[in-house]
């Protein structure tokens, strides 16, 4: 499909989308974020274009969730081989965008030997809300996660194996099409104070990032980390340690957040309290009665790191 013909097709479906720069009137406070998905790095070759579109959007929306922003505008830079399923991609992207109140307002199409998509999102701060950031945590705050951890990583590992069953299916879905926690982010933005980050590179690494920006330490309770049903069994089939996968697997796209000690998110969000922010700067993992330093590392580094400690 030639680029001009594809653009005509897109323009007939997206009023703002044109060859010219998108012209937009804006008034208010906005959060802007950009994130990239690349074939071979972020998703396996052969991933369907519709799945890829939804994943690209979800991963980027998760950044807006961690800001407490309401999705507004999207701009896409897509490079793909000529035989890529552009129509399936854009049909899925527009449908998913619409579900989140997001308008695809502009973009750039190019050719490449691999699929690469950079998505730029603009979100709006709701009236009366505050921005969330990594830097707003204080010693004594409760530390929370917005959902289960490790399932996405287990799903990623399972893709290369001939496994089946409901847990495998759920894990693969968690990996391929994560659910950005936008409503939770909006709720956090209405609280007097909240620090938040979305868990993309793994709980351990992202907790270190939150602590560094907030200039605090943390004590994480390894046994409190929420595990979905069947997770331990799946890890056993995959030959990986469940806790290590939860700490370092990444791509969970749930929110990791800190709230003042007395605050608690509504039960409908399914959040779990997993620790506390502390004075000093040490980030500790409590497991049973023992505490040890939690390395700022992803899952692929955990084996050697825990072996050396």
Task: Please report, as ranges, the residues that interact with its own copies according to CB under 8 A.
Answer: 4, 18-36, 38, 41, 63-64, 66-67, 69, 73, 75-77, 79, 105-108, 110-112, 116, 118, 120, 123, 125, 131-135, 197, 209, 213
Tokens of 199: 């868990």
Across the beta sheet with 103-111, what order do the strands follow?
103-111, 70-80, 116-124
CB of 165 to its own copies, least distance (A): 33
Q: Which of 280, 274, 279 lies closest to 259, judged by CA? A: 274
CB of 182 to its own copies, least distance (A): 13
Reduce the DSSP state of residue 14 to 3 states and report it: coil
Q: Strand pairing of 70-80 and 103-111?
A: parallel
What's the residue count for the chain? Answer: 309
CB of 75 to its own copies, least distance (A): 5
CA distances from 60 to 36, 39, 74, 79 (A): 8, 16, 10, 17
* Cβ nearer to its own copies, comparing 1 with 22: 22
* Cβ nearer to its own copies, comparing 73 with 254: 73
CB of 243 to its own copies, least distance (A): 24
* Cβ nearer to its own copies, comparing 238 with 259: 259
* Cβ nearer to its own copies, comparing 226 with 298: 298
CB of 120 to its own copies, least distance (A): 4
CA distances from 246 to 67, 96, 192, 298 (A): 23, 28, 30, 10
CB of 113 to its own copies, least distance (A): 9
CB of 91 to its own copies, least distance (A): 20
* Cβ nearer to its own copies, comparing 15 with 266: 15
Cα dihedral 124, 128, 132, 135 sign: positive
* Cβ nearer to its own copies, comparing 206 with 241: 206
Q: Tell me the HSE value of 7 on the side-chain side, using a 13 A CA sphere.
A: 17
* Cβ nearer to its own copies, comparing 158 with 200: 200
CB 94 within 8 A of CB 13: yes
CB of 143 to its own copies, least distance (A): 18
The b-or-e profile of 77-112 (16+ CB within 10 A means b, else e) is bbbbeeebbbeebbebbbebbeebebbbbbbebeee
* Cβ nearer to its own copies, comparing 17 with 168: 17
The b-or-e profile of 8-44 (16+ CB within 10 A means b, else e) is eebeeebeebeeeeeeeeeeeeebebebebebeebbe
């Amino acid at each position: 499909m030639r680029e001009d013909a594809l653009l005509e097709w897109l323009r007939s479906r997206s009023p703002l989308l044109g060859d010219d720069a998108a012209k937009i009137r804006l008034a208010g406070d906005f959060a802007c974020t950009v994130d990239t998905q690349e074939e071979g790095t972020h998703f396996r070759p052969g991933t369907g274009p519709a799945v890829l579109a939804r994943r690209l959007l979800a991963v980027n929306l998760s950044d807006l969730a961690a800001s407490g922003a309401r999705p507004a505008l999207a701009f896409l830079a897509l490079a793909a081989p000529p035989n890529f399923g552009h129509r399936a991609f854009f049909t899925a992207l527009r449908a998913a965008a619409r579900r989140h109140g997001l308008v695809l307002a502009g973009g750039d199409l190019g050719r490449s030997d691999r699929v690469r998509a950079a998505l730029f999102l603009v979100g709006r701060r709701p009236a009366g809300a505050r921005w969330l950031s990594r830097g707003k945590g204080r010693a004594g705050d409760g530390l929370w996660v917005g959902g289960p951890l490790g399932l996405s990583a287990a799903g990623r590992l399972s893709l290369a194996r001939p496994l089946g069953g409901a847990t495998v299916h759920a894990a693969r879905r968690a990996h391929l099409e994560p659910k950005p926690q936008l409503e939770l982010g909006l709720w956090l933005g209405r609280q007097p104070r909240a620090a938040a980050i979305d868990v993309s590179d793994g709980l351990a690494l992202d907790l270190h990032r939150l602590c560094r920006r907030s200039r605090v330490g943390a004590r994480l309770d390894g046994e409190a980390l929420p595990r979905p049903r069947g997770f331990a069994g799946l890890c056993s089939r995959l030959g990986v340690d469940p806790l290590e996968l939860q700490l370092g697997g990444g791509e969970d796209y749930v929110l990791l957040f800190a709230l003042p000690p007395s605050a608690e998110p509504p039960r409908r969000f399914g959040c779990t309290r997993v620790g506390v922010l502390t004075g000093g700067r040490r980030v500790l993992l409590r497991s049973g009665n023992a505490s040890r330093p939690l390395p700022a590392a992803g899952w692929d580094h955990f084996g050697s790191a825990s072996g050396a400690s």
